[in-house]
Structure 1
């Protein structure tokens, strides 16, 4: 399977998604549309991963709109889509939903709570990395998958082929370090009140890789 990844900033890569891809013998191609302006075609894509970034789906940039055109084609073809943060917002906006400021800016480690049992083996509570101040509305025909204490719409699942998460479950420890040392000014104003040291000194929960793998298995089954 060819997995095409849309990466939107140097410090937010595929992380453990790449581990899953390699363990399953898939081929991963990573695109950087914000820098090079290139996107894969729908025909070249068996699965699409849309990662996070500092931009908003509401920004008037040609490549952001082109991404949604690709997402629309893949939705019509019922191909697996996994979106993290900005990526989840892109999927929701493609499906006609509004992207707006969240009730609270969340940056740091905090729990989310499972809201339905669509995916086997997802615990009722898990600790994940938040790095956002906008949020999506849940698309029609999708199910609310996760909520946090501050933001209800933290994840959705749709048609056994689509998962969008407002938070990050994909980073490994080195990825977290990369995010923090490059984007630490973004911590200002977060309701989680965590410092760079707080985030760096919090281990990535060992269960996160297993949970991520179950979600990826679910949409590619």
Structure 2
């Protein structure tokens, strides 16, 4: 299976998603559509689309952002699996007709999300995850709310059985967190409702269970009827 990853900043790579693809024997290709080349894969060469986070927003009037949503729309119509994190989840939600709005609180750092549905069996009730956002998606009308945090209700959704969007980040491994903090730490200092500095964020190791949960979600989207969760 060919897994195509849309990466939107050097600081936010695929992390555990790349490890999942390697362990499952899938081919992984990373595109950087925000660059001058504005590279995007074709729909017919995409078996699984991963849309990562970034400092931009879906409401920005940029050609490559709209082109991404065209690709997402095509893959939705073809019922191919799609996973989005942060900006990526917002792109999916907007493609499905939902609004992207200012979140009630800016969240940067570690905080729990709580499970809101039993659509996916055996997920933990609470997961400590990394947050790095101040906008959020509204839940698409045809999707189910998956996770909420104490400060921002819309932390995740599932659409059909092959599309998941998370406002938070389950995919980072420790090196990814290090890069995010080292290159974007001033963002954590400005009006952050979690009151965590870059140093405080680094002091919390990535919970080892996050990688397993990320693997389980990806497995579910690839084999929705039989994947272990």
TM-score by length of 1: 0.99
Count of aligned positions: 221
- The match for 1:163 is 164
CA contact (8 A) 1:114 1:122 kept: yes
CA contact (8 A) 1:121 1:214 kept: no
Pairing partner for 1:210 from 205, 209, 212: 212
- The match for 1:62 is 63
| Aligned residues: CA RMSD | 0.6
CA contact (8 A) 1:110 1:129 kept: yes
- Residue 118 of structure 1 deviates from its aligned partner by 1.5
- The match for 2:19 is 19
1:138 aligns with 2:139: yes
Partner Cα distance (2:208, 2:125) in 1: 16
- The match for 2:227 is none
- The match for 1:199 is 201
Any unmatched runs of 5+ in structure 1? none
- The match for 2:104 is 103
- The match for 2:3 is 3
Partner Cα distance (2:68, 2:61) in 1: 12
CA contact (8 A) 1:2 1:29 kept: yes
Q: Secondary structure at the match of 1:106?
A: strand
Q: Secondary structure at the match of 1:129?
A: strand
Partner Cα distance (2:159, 2:90) in 1: 14
Displacement over 4 Å in runs of 4+: none
- Residue 33 of structure 1 deviates from its aligned partner by 0.3
- Residue 15 of structure 1 deviates from its aligned partner by 0.2
- Residue 121 of structure 1 deviates from its aligned partner by 2.4
CA contact (8 A) 1:121 1:211 kept: no
- Residue 120 of structure 1 deviates from its aligned partner by 2.3
- Deviation track 1:93-150 (CA, whole Å, cap 9, x = no partner) reads 0111100100000000000000011122210001000000000011122110000000
